[in-house]
Amino acid sequence: MIHKWMMTIAASAFTVSLAAAAQAESITVYSALEEEEIAEYIKAANKAMPDIEVNVLRLSTGKLGARILAEAQNPQADVIWGWAVTAMMNPRVLAMLEPYKAKGAEKLNSAHRAGDDRWFAPTGYMGAFCVNTERLKKKDLPMPTSWKDLENPAFKGEVVMPDPNSSGTGYLHVNAILQEMGADQGWAQLKAVDPNMAQYTSSGSKPCKAARAGEYTVGISLAFTALKSIDSGYPVTMVFPREGAGYELEASGLMSSSHNKADAKRFLDWTMSKSATDLYGAFKALITVPGVNPSAAAEKAGLPSDINTVLAKVDFASSAKSQMATKKKWKDMFGR
């Protein structure tokens, strides 16, 4: 039997269709995972479940949330896969999920799965500064080690970060500052850095990619993108801000409206299987599955053996509750 997978990129949507036999059952999966990792995961899923056709719609965190809520009266997805837990905790979204304990999810710490089994999170993502060392030297700028350092007028037009209204990465950075510093001081910090921002992007990985290409000096982005950039030979240094690196858990769950729950559950089980978790280290700086660690390349690039030493103290329930208000205030203050 010949299997094939196809990628189509159109506008902001990334669709992967994994086609098995003509008679194959199919499921629709909504995800905010990065495009390159989805492609690799789906290849592995094909080998493990050749009888299931998996159609993946990939959107950024904010756009995916808007789509899910817009479809609330007629949900189109069977599974939500790898979406920011802060977004997943929206009561309107939780109401669309059916409790299901995926095989292997019991191994996760209680902080990494819902008490009622509506979601579980084997992976996460964390923020970092991507600093282009060549441009830093050319511009004669000091290596930034904190958000406070980015207030320096010398960095004007040299910094780029994601918009929290469209990017989960942007929100995790903003949320970490507000929770670590307190609302008043946190907003003041963001306001102090804003004059140096060249732009706010809709993509969480784009700031790092722009920095590594030499377009800007500092890309406030993802640790994963920084790690990949360093491993690929770009002149990039990964910096975790002294205030604490923001992070998110990537949650998955079963849509109660699914018309193919049997295969949807098989897919969710697969995400906790050895077939899947063996791949996580190649793409993730933050893995919650016991015994599964990031790659050696990640440690070589500067990821500490104990990432808790650089993570901000984040209360996800609180960040989920305040998310809409935070995004609105950010847009009112910094929207361009």
pLDDT for 36-71, tens place per residue?
Answer: 899 999 999 999 999 999 999 999 888 999 999 999
| 253 plus 237 within the same structural domain | no
| 188 plus 253 within the same structural domain | no
Question: pLDDT of 32-41, one tens digit each?
Answer: 998 989 999 9
- Give the helix/strand (H/E) hosting 155: none
Grouping H, G, I as helix, E, B as strand and the rest as coil, residue 111 is helix
- Mean pLDDT value across residues 252-281: 96
Number of domains in the chain: 2
| 45 plus 87 within the same structural domain | yes
Q: Which of these ranges, 269-278, 308-317, 325-334, has the smallest mean pLDDT?
A: 308-317
Whichever domain contains 281, its CATH number is 3.40.190.10
Nearest Cα residue to 298 out of 281, 312, 274: 281
| 85 plus 25 within the same structural domain | yes
Q: Which of these ranges, 137-141, 236-240, 288-292, 328-332, has the smallest mean pLDDT?
A: 288-292
Domain of 194, in residue numbers: 125-246+300-334
| 79 plus 100 within the same structural domain | yes
Question: pLDDT of 128-163, one tens digit each?
Answer: 999 999 999 999 999 999 999 999 999 999 999 999
Radius of gyration of the chain (CA): 20
| 207 plus 265 within the same structural domain | no
Domain C-terminal end among 277, 293, 309: 293
| 211 plus 316 within the same structural domain | yes
User: CA 214 to CA 132: how far, in whole Å?
Assistant: 7
| 232 plus 275 within the same structural domain | no
Residue 5, pLDDT score: 36
Residue 8, pLDDT score: 34
Residue 16, pLDDT score: 52
Q: Is the pLDDT of residue 22 over 60?
A: no
The C-alpha torsion from 63 through 64 and 67 to 73, rounded to 10°, is -150
Name the DSSP class of 199.
Answer: E
| 178 plus 323 within the same structural domain | yes
User: CA 37 to CA 90: how far, in whole Å?
Assistant: 25
| 235 plus 115 within the same structural domain | no
| 191 plus 321 within the same structural domain | yes
Residues of the chain with pLDDT > 70, as a percent, come to: 93
User: Burial of 210 by CB count in 10 Å (0-12 exposed, 13-18 middle, 19+ buried)?
Assistant: buried
| 135 plus 194 within the same structural domain | yes
Extended beta strands in 66-165, E state: 79-84, 97-98, 120-132, 159-162
